[in-house]
């Protein structure tokens, strides 16, 4: 039966193209076209695409260093007189073909090497804001990795001041609200993380929380239990990458030892039913990143992405772009790709976008404003 409907749909689609060409000449044809929409897959997709584009979205899992586009990387390298290993933008882009998290990280750290001055961090951050503004991302909570920069002699203040100034300008120009989350590199030791926390204290008012990123396997959350405790005592919120490549035990540790407000990624929670129940009970959101998962081979097909299965189990899922310059797409593209692969409805999309705002660290009044807009747009979509 489904096949027959599809065939009919395809036939009418073809007819629809002819009708479309003649639309201005014939009211009858035009009416006919309206009746096609239910069966016309392309038009449905376009409508859903517009919906995804229009609804307000928040981004909760984004590494600012991972927004470094090759063109900007070459510009900044050239003005700082740094030679990149790659001869051209094209050659660099070809290197963006990763087999795992570590291969990506090696390239990521090399790119970050060209960031020297406050203005470099400003330009990097502002370029990201210009992009997301066009995609109706209304709020962003960005990660930055101070150790990637302080370990090569850059001052903590150079990094944070450049990022913060760009975020302030972005809010003024585009109305995008923001928070900053500082991540510890988990492949380094806890003493190094303590030093970084110390450097962050003068900028406490600028940084809402601390996180944990970089090479996951072999670097469990328990390795950072003490520094997270100190961070919480200093008033920082906590989040952590867990269960991307690491096992579901890492997610338990992030919850129990690091007392996180959100789990970044969390794909592997599905290995443990009790853990899924716990995430639901505690209302702990997962900040999932579909194109990143595909690019780093956490999954080999977007159709196998666990986002929908988790939504169906009442887990709070949000969609994010992680390191968009490296993984082939910013926030909107992650929504598009996932919607297509998992056949998501507008209602599913609105849940994902609402989650991103509701579980952001944005103030309640602003959250409500955005959530109202999403529900209005969903009503319009369904009419």
Give me the active site residues, please.
244
Q: Which of 293, 350 has the CB closer to Zn ion?
A: 293
**Nearer CB in complex with Zn ion: 123/213:** 213
Please, which residue, 120 or 264, has the CB nearer to Zn ion? 264
Who contacts 368 (Cβ-Cβ below 8 Å, separation ≥6)?
none
E strands, the chain, in order: 57-63, 137-144, 177-185, 209-213, 237-242, 262-265, 286-288, 317-319
Sort strands 286-288 and 57-63 into parallel, antiparallel or unpaired: unpaired
Q: Which is nearer to Zn ion, 92 or 185 (CB)?
A: 185
How, if at all, do strands 317-319 and 262-265 pair?
unpaired
Site string for Zn ion, 16-55 (x = CB under 5 A): ----------------------------------------
Q: How far is the CB of 60 from Zn ion (least distance, A)?
A: 10
Q: Of 322 and 358, which CB lies nearer to Zn ion in the complex structure? A: 322
Contact pattern for Zn ion over residues 309 through 348, marking x by CB under 5 A = -------------x--------------------------
Q: Are 243 and 266 in contact (CB under 8 A)?
A: yes
CB of 75 to Zn ion, least distance (A): 25
- Is 145 a binding residue for Zn ion by CB under 5 A? The answer is no
Q: How would DSSP label each residue in 170-238?
A: HHHHH--EEEEEEEEETTS-HHHHHHHHHHHGGGGGG--EEEEES--TT--GGGGHHHHHHHHHTT-EE
The CB-of-166 to Zn ion minimum distance in angstroms stands at 20
Order of strands, sheet of 137-144, starting from the edge strand that comes earlier in the sequence: 57-63, 137-144, 177-185, 209-213, 237-242, 262-265, 286-288, 317-319
Distance, in Å, from the CA atom of 359 to the CA atom of 60, rounded to the nearest integer, reads 9
CB 222 within 8 A of CB 186: no
Give the x/- contact pattern for Zn ion in 344-373, rule: CB under 5 A.
------------------------------
Find the radius of gyration of the CA atoms of the chain. 22
Q: Give me the 172-211 binding string for Zn ion, x by CB under 5 A, dash otherwise.
A: ----------------------------------------
Conformational region of residue 359, where left means phi above 0, alpha means psi within -120 to 50, and beta covers everything else: alpha
Rounded least distance, CB 264 to Zn ion, Å: 6
> To the nearest whole angstrom, how small is the minimum distance from the Cβ of residue 289 to Zn ion?
7
Q: Which residue is nearest to Zn ion (CB)?
A: 322
Work out how close the CB of 221 gets to Zn ion at its nearest, in angstroms, rounded to a whole number: 14
Which of 119/247 has CB closer to Zn ion?
Answer: 247
Query: How many residues can be counted in the chain?
Result: 383
Q: Where on the chain is the footprint of Zn ion (CB under 5 A)?
A: 322
């Amino acid at each position: 039966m489904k096949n027959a409907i599809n065939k009919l749909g395809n036939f009418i689609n073809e007819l629809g193209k002819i009708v479309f060409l003649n639309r201005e000449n014939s009211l009858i044809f035009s009416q006919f076209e309206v009746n096609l929409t239910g069966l016309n897959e392309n038009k449905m997709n376009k409508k859903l695409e517009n919906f995804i584009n229009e609804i307000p979205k928040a981004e909760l899992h984004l590494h600012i260093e991972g927004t470094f586009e090759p063109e900007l990387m070459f510009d900044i390298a050239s003005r700082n007189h740094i030679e990149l290993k790659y001869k051209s933008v094209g050659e660099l882009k070809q290197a963006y073909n990763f087999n795992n998290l570590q291969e990506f990280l090696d390239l990521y750290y090399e790119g970050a090497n060209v960031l020297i001055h406050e203005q470099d961090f400003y330009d990097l951050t502002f370029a990201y804001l210009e992009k997301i503004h066009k995609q109706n991302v209304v709020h962003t909570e960005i990660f930055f990795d101070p150790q990637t920069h302080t370990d090569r002699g850059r001052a903590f203040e150079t990094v944070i001041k450049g990022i913060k100034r760009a975020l302030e300008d972005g809010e003024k120009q585009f109305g995008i609200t923001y928070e900053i989350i500082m991540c510890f590199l988990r492949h380094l030791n806890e003493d190094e993380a303590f030093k970084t926390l110390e450097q962050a204290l003068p900028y406490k008012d600028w940084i809402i929380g601390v996180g944990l990123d970089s090479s996951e396997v072999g670097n469990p959350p328990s390795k950072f239990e003490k520094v997270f405790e100190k961070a919480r005592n200093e008033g920082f919120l906590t989040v952590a990458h867990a269960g991307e490549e690491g096992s579901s035990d890492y997610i338990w540790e992030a919850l129990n030892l690091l007392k996180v407000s959100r789990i970044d990624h969390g794909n592997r929670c599905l290995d443990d039913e009790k853990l899924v129940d716990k995430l639901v009970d505690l209302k702990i959101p997962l900040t999932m990143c579909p194109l990143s998962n595909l690019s780093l081979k956490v999954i080999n097909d977007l159709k196998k992405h666990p986002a929908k299965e988790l939504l169906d189990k009442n887990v709070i899922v949000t969609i994010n772009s992680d390191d968009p310059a490296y993984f082939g797409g910013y926030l909107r593209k992650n929504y598009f790709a996932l919607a297509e692969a998992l056949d998501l409805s507008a209602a599913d999309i609105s849940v994902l976008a609402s989650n991103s705002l509701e579980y952001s660290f944005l103030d309640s009044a602003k959250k409500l404003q955005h959530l109202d807009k999403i529900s209005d747009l969903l009503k319009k979509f369904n009419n």
